[in-house]
Amino acid sequence: CKQRAAELKDEQLYSQGHERPEGDFCPICTLPIPLPMEDHSTISCCCMKEICDGCIVAAQKRGMFDCAFCRTPIPGNDADRLAMVQTRVEKKDPVAMHSLGEKYCHGENGLKRDMLRAIKLWTEAAELGSLKALYNLGVAYDLGEGVQQDMAKAAELYTKAAMQGHVASRHNLGCFEWDKGNYDCALRHLLISAKMGHGKSVENIKKMFMAGFITKEQYAEALKGYQDAVEEMKSHDRDQA
């Protein structure tokens, strides 16, 4: 009975979360944003929409330097940008809570680094549905940043996010299994994240192939899936950016 329950849990873990969540798509061109998203997009402090670099550059070429999504003028200083984010936080916007948590985590926009504040914001954002906040909490427990290190708690948070399509969480689950020597489980996770466009997952699968843990066919499957995902994220405007 316990074995069957474990099997059902595994079936859910590996069968769910193969599609990226709505927040991973640019709201203007509607294409999935390349990974890592923070290198290819900007979160607008006014509407908290994550807009890809291609759409931002395209708007600027048309002479529009306000928010490309909601047309709100973008403040020219940290204090005003931070005030906009805090206004959204007060309205219980999970994207704004996650974003403000990031600013406290890294000491940005004139804020002093405060991991306890970041953890509090991410915890509330996660409760309101932010997958990025779930992932950041997972990283915090993984590394012992702002909380006592707890690998089991980290895995639990990564799992919850991965099953809803968070790619980096899925990748980290694969790395957890790899570190434990569970190469079959590691491959199952990394294949999912690779096919969603995660470059490091493909690199890890290549290392597994070179070490003789997986077959050439399995590596080829991962590589093709990754290339297909990357192709889906391309656009003329993004190439220009």
Residue 1: which pLDDT band, with cuts at 50, 70 and 90?
Answer: low
Burial class (CB in 10 A: 0-12, 13-18, 19+), 140: buried
Instruction: Write down the pTM of the prediction.
Output: 0.95
Give the model confidence (pLDDT) of 156-213 as tens digits. 999 999 999 999 999 999 999 999 999 999 999 999 999 999 999 999 999 999 999 9
pLDDT of residue 11: 87
Indicate if the pLDDT at residue 81 is higher than 70: yes
| Pick from 130, 133, 131: nearest CA to 122 | 133
Q: Are 216 and 209 in contact (CB under 8 A)?
A: yes
Distances (CA, A) of 203 to 24, 181, 229: 22, 17, 15
**In this predicted model, what pLDDT tens digit does every residue of 94-123 receive, in sequence order?**
999 999 999 999 999 999 999 999 999 999
Segment (H or E) for 155: helix 151-162
Give the span between the Cα atoms of 222 and 195, in whole angstroms: 6
Q: What is the pLDDT of residue 4?
A: 65
pLDDT at position 146? 95
